[in-house]
Every structure is written in structure tokens, then in C-alpha cells.
Amino acid sequence: MGDLIMQPSNLKVSPKYSESKEMYLKALVELDVFVSPTVSRLANRLGVTQVSANEMVRRLTDQGLMIHTPYKGVNLTKKGRQLGNNVLRRQRLWECFLYDYLKVEWSRLYELTCNLEHNTPPEVTESLAIYLNNPAQCPHGQPIPTVDGECKSLKGIPLNQLGIGESASILSVTESPLEVVEHFSQQGLLPGKHITLVNTTPLQGPLTLQVGQAHIALGLQMAEQILVKRD
């Protein structure tokens, strides 16, 4: 009898080759803002042991996607960076959709789109981009890479490099764990907002900012995650 309905083409159960691979590539793109991350930073970011990360890095190196210089760090090759940027493009487009259309909470965006990105075929990605009107940034202010895997980085400075009394507007915040991002959100530290650096304290101490009318204290590490542009 009607075995027509068998094997709907891509019903492939298994080949999830590379879901992990994509995570590694993405993590690398995200991490190497200023310096190439070491394997342990990577491992840490991905929530795996260093040994596992090392293994994976070796495999990806074999595939010509990255280069590991021991004790120095891991660098993406051109091909690797492109792939990583593609992943990021997918995720950030989804973030736009979830935020602007589905009204998902800002601080949960990263978390919720973090696995949607895999399994998003190119056709869908590009239709989505058109639907969203080709946004340039995700709700965190991060640039969305182009179809061909290019990504021009933001020209801004970390908030902690502002001088006292200087005003600036927030360009982006780094995708971070929920608690951190939730804190940003509660303090109104969102892309586009204007802030003024009121004060700093020595010994890695907190900064004082003015956001709107309010004065808030912000830890140094948090401040490093915020990219601003002087007014």
C-alpha cells in the first residue's frame, strides 16, 4: 500500500555533523574582538573541558578552518571566518525577528535563538533578511554579517575608556550570560542610549554613569562589554 509518503527527502535523521562545529566557529568570531582567544577561553565559552576543545580545534584545524598557535591563541582562516559569520548572520536575523515581531524579551534573545541558527537553511535566512528589510544590526547593536560572510566591525570604544565627564551613546553590548544581559536591561543600558561617565574608582572599582536622570554604578568588567561612541 501507499508507501509514497516515505522518505520525504531531507528527513535525514542523523547528519548533525557540524552543529558543534558551528558553535565553535561562532564562538571564535565572537571572542576574537581584540586578541585571538586561547583554547581554554574557547572551552570556557562553550562550556566544555579544555581537552575537548583542544580536540575539536585540532579537527577544525585539519579542515582548514582555523589555526592554533600553542600558547598564542586560535585564529580563524578566511574560510572559517566566513562560516562563522554565516552562523552569526542567521542568529542575529532571528534575534531581530524575535524581538521586533514576536516581542520576545530583550534579555532572552541570545539564549532563545542560540540553537535556532543551526538548521536554518540559506533560503530561509535570505527570505527572512528580506522580510526584516535587511537590518544592519541585531537588537544588541551587533552588526549582522552579509550573505557572503563579511562583517565590518563597529567603530567604537569600550565604555571604560571614556574620560570622566564625557558623554557617549551606546553602540552595542556583548552577548553575555543571562544575568549580565538582564542587568544591562534593568539599568537601561541598551543600544542607542546616551550615557555620561560621572566618575571612576581605582583598583578595578566600579564606574558611575548617568543614564537618563539616574546615576548607576557599573562594574568594570560589565563596562568592558559595552561599546560606545563619543558624542
Positions touching a second copy (CB under 8 A) are: 1-14, 16, 19-20, 23-24, 27, 30-31, 41, 44-48, 98, 101-104, 108, 110-112, 114-116, 118-121, 123-124, 127-128, 130-131, 174-178, 180, 221-222, 224-225
- Contact between 140 and 170 under an 8 Å Cβ cutoff? The reply is no
Q: Which does 204 bind (CB under 5 to 8 A by kind): DNA, a second copy, none?
A: none
User: Of the candidates 7, 10, 71, 102, which one interacts with DNA according to CB under 7 A?
Assistant: 71
Grid cell at residue 28: 571564535
The site map against DNA for 7-26 (x = CB under 7 A) is: ------xx--xxxxx-x---
Nearest approach in angstroms of CB 27 to DNA is 11
- CA neighbours within 13 Å on the CB side: how many for 205? 7
List beta partners, residue 208: 199, 217
Of 125 and 208, which CB lies nearer to a second copy in the complex structure?
Answer: 125
SS (H, E, C) 105-153: CHHHHHHHHCCCCCCCCHHHHHHHHHHCCCCCECCCCCECCCCCCCCCC
183's enclosing H/E stretch is: helix 178-186
Of 119 and 201, which CB lies nearer to a second copy in the complex structure?
Answer: 119
- CA neighbours within 13 Å on the CB side: how many for 156? 27
Q: Which does 152 bind (CB under 5 to 8 A by kind): a second copy, DNA, none?
A: none
User: Of the candidates 59, 79, 118, 183, which one interacts with DNA according to CB under 7 A?
Assistant: 59
Nearest approach in angstroms of CB 68 to DNA is 6
Nearest approach in angstroms of CB 141 to DNA is 28
Smallest CA-to-CA distance from 211 within 159, 134, 154 is with: 159
- Please state, in angstroms and rounded to a whole number, the distance separating the CA atoms of residues 119 and 176: 23
Residues forming the site for DNA (CB under 7 A) = 13-14, 17-21, 23, 38-41, 46-52, 54-56, 58-59, 68, 70-73
